[in-house]
Chain A
Amino acid sequence: MISIKYIFKTFLCVLALFVFMVSAGAEEPAPGTISMTLGDSAYTFNNNMVSCIETLDNGNKRITIGLSDREQKVELMITIDCSAKAITGEQHLNTTYNNIMIMFKSSKGNFVVIPPVRMAKSESINYIEKNSRKGKRKFRKRKARWHGMRRGERLASGKGIIRHGQMKDKTFSMVLVPVVENGSVTELKGTFSGLVRAGKNNFQRGQYINIKNGKFHVEVAR
């Protein structure tokens, strides 16, 4: 008689095999490839992109992946800001919590997605405050009162935040996997997806379009 334990183990093996087969079916793109489905349109770009990593003033890194395809009449740019420490590891990013941007231009339509909310830098400004004591007026510099506030507090109070209201119904997410050789990032691989508004006409709010099955594998310029 076949035991329940045996059936359960068999089920787990079959499940593992299924997952392996599905994963194996999601092929990694060849180097120099970016592909995605935008609405009903499928795009594949080969060997016409550039990727580079800059060091910003504050020590953070800016990763840029850009391409210009004259035949398909498309320009695409993805930019990611991250810490120098994070750049050599896998990152799961989205416009809600991270500084990433996608810009897409084509003859069929255009869109840009940037973070809908950013936290203002409290160290970048000191305010002048007037105090009156015992009939004397004194002015002093002090840090912003939202300095040290948590994200939730800032969002609720409207203090220390930078909003882009037009972005609140759009989103862009990606998984970034760097290939590291001798401590330097030499290639970038990953996936991306999102929900955007795209269209062509002035003042048109555009229609919602899904970004699906986005994949990339690019070399980093040195």
Chain B
Amino acid sequence: MKGIIKNISSFVLVCTLCLFSANLYAFWDNAHKNSAEDAISYMETEGSNQQRWVVDYLKAKTGGRDSGGTGLNPNNGDGTQYGLIGIARAGAVAPDYCQDLFWDDTTSWGWDVSIPGYGSTNFSSFTHFMNLLKTNDDGKTLKTNVYNDYDGWSYNGSFGCPGMGIDYAIASYMNNAWMTIDLANCSDCSGKYSFIPDGNPAVDYKQNGSTTVLGSAHSSKKVGSDDKTNYNCFSDCVTPNNCPDTGSKISGNSVPQIPNTGTESFWSGDWSKSNQDWVIFEPLDNAATFYYNEWFLEGGTSRSSSLDTGAVSGRYYSASSSDINYLTLVMHYAGDANTQHHIWVTSGYNHSDYEEWIDNAYGGRTLGGDNSGKNLEDYSTIKGYINSRSNQVDAGLDDIITENGFLTYLSRYRSGYDTLSNTDGTTRKNTATYAVNHAIATIVMLYEKGVLDLRENR
């Protein structure tokens, strides 16, 4: 009898652990969803006349406030969501559930790095960072504008680079993995989920100043394995593989930063040189601009890394319910631009614990409630934040998001707001309150901007 009870208890424990681990890596789903919903609620109740009109336009286009229209399936198990509120919440999380960055590792390949007991990271999420750092954790100068005005996540440019943390673990694990650079034609990439019909995702949208991915696509996985493409070497960790080196170094500085364009290989005997570069992901403002310009405003009619107003002409009237989905996807990046870890570009430094905390706090709020521990949103504060921004709705989308990124970067220097180095509840609440209200402010501005940009070219 005791043995049976013990077995049942063990079985229940295992099931509970499995469930727990599945929920643990939902990023900050509920917080993303709630911020998008709060933005619409703000516009309806506290917004300017123009913001209220914007919401009415969006409701008309999406078939209604809580139902109607063609809906959006965020690929997270929630199913298709309908109406403006439904697609706003769905779009706010959907970019985390794309499967559009496919890596061919030496022992496995797929859409995420999944290490039992450690967790799982969807590679698509690596385009949700923006590197505003000037120095690393040791105070050494970083070279971070390799391909963009501000690059995205890169192991060698990450805040966690010098330490024995999650960034180092992921980089070591992936090491010489190659990424698929022609997803549309990858015949060995089953399970692809992209919101872009038959096309590459935001990868290389503006990276390298081009919309064309550098390098040639090889094999059935269409991987970029050539030298000088920035997707063929995840890290410079030292293992006897294709990219084992420390890389070139900035003159007068010992930090390896420049993509290595040397010609020697590891097996020539000098392990400090290599002919491989290391991966630098596209930054989140580029990814947001990609969905906004090319798909929301232009309907996929061009891929020119800039806004073609001719393509926008008339869409104010012709945009369908499904076209509004692309606008909602942009709001995910507005949320991520308010997470310190996404701007200080680290997967570690209390990253997942902080996001879990937010999901339990603000993510568990009741709309319009007054729970001081969960209702972190404050509409008066949001109005103030909107008014305080240098870039308003007439600015470029990437400028609005970049400005938000800078506010997030600087917030870490406020006493009691450093979530990278502290795990106490007070620090997390301070930071989350600031982040949530700025995220809602940015989302309000972007919804308003989206409709105004359509109207301007009607």
A residues contacting B by CB (< 8 A) are 48-50, 52, 54-58, 64, 66-68, 73, 75, 77, 79, 81, 99-101, 103, 105-107, 109-112, 114-115, 118, 120-121, 123-130, 142, 144, 146, 157-167, 169-170, 196-206, 221
Decide: A64 near B237, CB < 8 A? Known: A103-B172, A160-B422, A161-B423.
Answer: yes
Type the 1/0 row for B36-51, where 1 means its CB is closer than 8 Å to any CB of A.
Answer: 0000000000000000
Contact A79 B353 (CB under 8 A): no
From B164, B413, B422, give the contact of A101 (CB < 8 A): B164
Instruction: Produce 1/0 per residue, B263-280, CB < 8 A to A.
Output: 000000001000000000
The answer to whether B117 and A58 touch across the interface, beta carbons within 8 angstroms, is: no
Contact of B421 among A120, A166, A197 (CB under 8 A): A120
Among A55, A77, A111, A118, point to the contact of B165 (Cβ < 8 A): A118
Are the C-beta atoms of B414 and A75 separated by less than 8 Å? no
Chain A nearest CB from B7 CB (Å) reads 16
Do A52 and B238 touch (CB < 8 A)?
yes
Interface centre among A57, A161, A204 (most CB of B within 10 A): A57
Q: In angstroms, how far is the closest chain A Cβ from the Cβ of B370?
A: 27
Minimum C-beta distance from B409 to chain A (A):
12
**Count class of interface residues, chain B:** 35 or more
Contact A66 B422 (CB under 8 A): no
Docked CA distance A54–B238 (Å): 10
The 15 listed contacts between A and B (C-beta, < 8 Å) are: A50-B244, A54-B246, A55-B254, A56-B138, A75-B241, A99-B163, A105-B106, A110-B108, A111-B117, A111-B118, A114-B165, A118-B163, A125-B421, A205-B17, A205-B117
Interface contact B164-A57, CB-CB below 8 Å: no
What residues of A have a CB within 8 angstroms of the CB of B422 in the complex?
A: 120, 146, 158-161
Q: Judge whether A165 and B168 touch: CB under 8 Å.
A: no
B164 touches A115 (CB 8 A): yes
Q: Does B210 have its Cβ within 8 Å of any Cβ on chain A?
A: no
A40 to B118, alpha carbons, bound, how many Å?
22
Contact of A204 among B116, B237, B348, B420 (CB under 8 A): B116
Check A118 against B164 for contact (C-beta < 8 Å): yes
Which one of A106, A112, A127, A201 lies within 8 Å of B415 (CB-CB)? A127
